[in-house]
Amino acid sequence: MRCRLDSLSLIVCLHLLSIDGDDDKGERSQIGDTMTVAAGVGYVLIALGPALSLFASVIAKKPFLILTLLSSTLFWLISLIILAGAWRAFLPVKSTELWPYSILILTSVGFQEGIRIGFWRLFKKMEDMLNAFADRVSKPRLFLTDKMQLALAGGLGHGLAHAVFFCLSLLTPAFGPATFYVDKCPSIPFFLISAIIALGFVIIHTFSMVIAFNGYTEGKRKDQIFVPFAHLIAALITLINLVPGGCNIGLPLLCIMAGTTLYYSWQLVWRRLTEHQTTRSSD
């Protein structure tokens, strides 16, 4: 069943799809059910796969990182609620014009980058507290890898929150037997597009936090400017999706942006670790 409606009635459509799917469950064969559950699980894994593997390999081992992840997710949620509260009076925004959405994106990205600086200040305070605690129990202070892991956990929290609120919460109908296409993008199912965009943003959020923390700690302008810039460009790229057929261009560009952020952070971390290693070995 194809549901070609505009976004205003999307919520109605989503609920209809989920109810329809379940009513037919008794008559449908088991294979049809598992196929659609598989599709839903597939979309979830596309959006969250790298995040889950990062979680399992790095973060799940240290409970403190789990707590950092949860608090940074909460932070992002609160910032989103504040943004939504500020924009509530202007909603719903007409999807045919570009400029309301661009203002929305500019304000949202600006606000979130401001929050990132606040987050970094909190992180500094926490680092000082942890170092003081380490001195009291006569254990070594925080290593560079620790700080980077904390930054990674913080960024992953932001990315996870983005994926959950922008992608996963709309994925419920994907577990049923139907799919949905947006008017502007008739070639790719809506769920797949949002999953891929969520994947891109998870990577961007995670690694830009690492870059940002390193940049603020070292005081390097280049890193500090890179992060808001990358975030803004990525968000503006999604504006291309408003144009009919634009998602065919927007999606690859977003993936390129995510790859750029990943590469930049890789270079940065590599450089810092080698510098740290050489300074330690030269002592």
Partner 1 sequence: MPPPDDPPSTTTAATKTSIIDSLGVEIVGVMSPVSICMLLVVLILTSLSSPSTTSSTSPPPVTAATLIYVESDSDSPSHKLLGAVLDAAAFVALIAAATFVLVLLYYYNFTSFLKNYLRFSVFFVLFSMGGSIMASLLQHFSIPLDAPTSFILLFNFAILGVLSVFSPAVPILLRQSYMVSVAVIVAVWFARLPEWTTWVLLIALALYDLAAVLCPHGPLRILVELASSRDEELPALVYEARPADSSHPVSPPASTPVASLGSVEMQPVSEASNSNSSSVDEEERSPLVSSPPVVRENLSNFNHEQVRESNNSNHAVVEMETGESETLPLVEREGFRSSSNSDSEFEMFDSTRGIRLGLGDFVFYSVLVGRAAMYDLMTVYACYLAIISGLGCTLILLSVFRHALPALPISITLGVIFYFLTRLLMEPFVVGASTNLVMF
User: Each residue of 193-222: b (16+ CB within 10 Å) or e?
Assistant: bbbbbbbbbbbbbbbbbbbbbbbbbeeeee
Positions in 75-94 near partner 1 (CB under 8 A): 77, 80-81, 83-85, 87-88, 91-93
Cis check: omega of the bond before 252, within 30 degrees of 0:
no
Interface residue with partner 1, options 208, 241, 261, 265 (CB under 8 A): 241
- The least distance separating partner 1 from the CB of residue 39, rounded to whole angstroms, comes to 17
Listed residue (159, 157, 163) closest to 69, CA to CA: 157
Interface residue with partner 1, options 168, 192, 199, 210 (CB under 8 A): 168
Positions in 200-239 near partner 1 (CB under 8 A): 201, 231, 234-235, 238-239
Select 121 or 183, whichever has its Cβ closest to partner 1: 183
- Alpha carbon distance 81, 110 (integer Å): 15
Beta-carbon contacts of residue 267 (< 8 Å; ≥ 6 apart): none
Listed residue (171, 155, 194) closest to 76, CA to CA: 155
Question: What 3-state class would DSSP assign to 248?
Answer: helix
Interface residue with partner 1, options 10, 52, 178, 255 (CB under 8 A): 10
Site string for partner 1, 177-206 (x = CB under 8 A): -----x-xx----x--xx--xx--x-----
- Alpha carbon distance 157, 75 (integer Å): 9
Site string for partner 1, 12-41 (x = CB under 8 A): ------xx--xx-xx---x-----------
Positions in 131-160 near partner 1 (CB under 8 A): 133-134, 136-140, 142-146, 149-150
Interface residue with partner 1, options 50, 58, 172, 262 (CB under 8 A): 172
- Alpha carbon distance 109, 79 (integer Å): 11
Decide: is 270 part of the binding site for partner 1 (CB under 8 A).
yes
Contact 237, 253 (CB under 8 A): yes
- The least distance separating partner 1 from the CB of residue 134, rounded to whole angstroms, comes to 5
How many residues bind partner 1, per CB under 8 A?
A: 89
Select 86 or 117, whichever has its Cβ closest to partner 1: 86
| Whole-Å CA distances, 207 to 17, 154, 168 | 36, 10, 21
Select 2 or 91, whichever has its Cβ closest to partner 1: 91
Binding segment for partner 1 (CB under 8 A), chosen from 38-46, 68-76, 221-229, 257-265, is 68-76
Question: What 3-state class would DSSP assign to 61?
Answer: coil
